[in-house]
Amino acid sequence: DTEGLLRIKEENQKHYRRAQRHQEKKEKIQRHNRKLGDLVEKKTYELKTQYEHLANLRRSHILELTSVIFPIEEVKTSMRDPADVSSESDNAMTSSTVSKLAEARRTTYLSGRWVCDDHNGDTSISITGPWIILPNNGDYSAYYNWVEEKKTTQGPDMEHNNPAHTISAALCYATQLVNTLSLILDVNLPKKLCNRQVKTQQGNHEFCGENLSRHRFTRAVKKLNANILHLCFSQHVNLDLLHPLHTLRNLMYLVSPDTENLGR
């Protein structure tokens, strides 16, 4: 029994010495982890600072781009509310008729269905100048109507007075601006739209050059609107301000100085 007790004591001493070595190793690992934690925290702070600096640079580039090359502004139109005009002409008009006229004013027939538009008739959005504007309600039917009419009508073409060219130019500039913004913000766009006016291996510009059919034009506009919404989502633009058909208005909200997260 005495010999057995001595053996147990020796084994316990070995285990105790091994436990001490393991404790020293554990403390060493904990010190190393604390150093790594401090280093990671420091690097994380530096990375966050660099992100903020990069966001400020992106923001300044975008604001300079949209103030010098691609200014986007709201253009007021001098249209009076039909309800007000009718009320002045007929004092006996009932309030229900006035409200119905006001509701009709906020409704647009677009692509075979009625669309509610609170800004209809009040304003338009211009890009690169007050003469290049888009309908605020997203109704670009003037373009493909002109294309179809041009195919059948013979005679002089009053191109300088045609609103279809204004629509084409505005969409062309919007496409170029969106592609440039995607490069500055480092955000991949879901839809591919070419903004070159010459033929390349990638294709033509979607809105400049040859006249597009109604199907191709509508498809290109949908792709442009999808890209704009994708950029707005990436920069955390207030969703209550966005509308899937308001091309330039969504773009205006995106590049507005009031957009807090612009450049993220």
Q: Which domain holds residue 225?
A: 135-152+159-263
What pLDDT does residue 177 have?
Answer: 93
Residue 89 lies in a domain: no
Task: DSSP letter for 124, please.
Answer: E
The pLDDT of residue 132: 87
Least confident interval from 125-129, 133-137, 193-197: 193-197
Greater confidence (215 vs 53) lies with: 53
Q: Position 149: which residue type?
A: E
Higher per-residue confidence, 221 vs 140: 221
Q: How far apart are CA 111 and CA 81, in angstroms?
A: 24
Express each pLDDT in 196-244 by its tens digit.
654 444 444 567 766 777 888 888 899 999 999 999 999 999 999 899 8
CB-based contacts of 107, cutoff 8 Å, min separation 6: 114, 115, 116, 117, 120
Q: How confident is the model at residue 100 (pLDDT cuts 50, 70, 90)?
A: low
Residue 101 resides in a domain = no
CB distance 242 to 263 below 8 Å:
no
The rounded mean pLDDT for the chain is 79
> What predicted TM-score, i.e. pTM, was given to this entire model?
0.68
Q: Give the C-alpha separation, 8 to 198, whole Å.
A: 91
Q: Which of 133, 104, 135, 140 is nearest to 122 (CA)?
A: 135
The total domain count for the chain is: 1
Is residue 140 included in any domain, yes or no? Answer: yes
Q: Where is average pLDDT lowest: 54-63, 74-83, 161-170, 251-260?
A: 74-83
Q: Is the residue at 81 inside a domain?
A: no
Per-residue confidence (pLDDT) for residue 154, from 0 to 100: 56
> Quick check: is 26 in a domain?
no
| More confident site: 81 or 104 | 104
Residue 125 has pLDDT above 70, yes or no: yes
Round to whole Å and give the CA distance between 120 and 81. Answer: 11
- pLDDT confidence of 89, banded at 50, 70, 90? very low
- Whether 52 has a pLDDT exceeding 70, the answer reads yes
37 in a domain, yes or no? no
In a domain, 165, yes or no: yes
Instruction: Kindly indicate the confidence band of residue 155, based on its pLDDT and cuts at 50, 70 and 90.
Output: low
Establish if 111 belongs to a structural domain: no
Q: Is the pLDDT of residue 82 over 50?
A: no
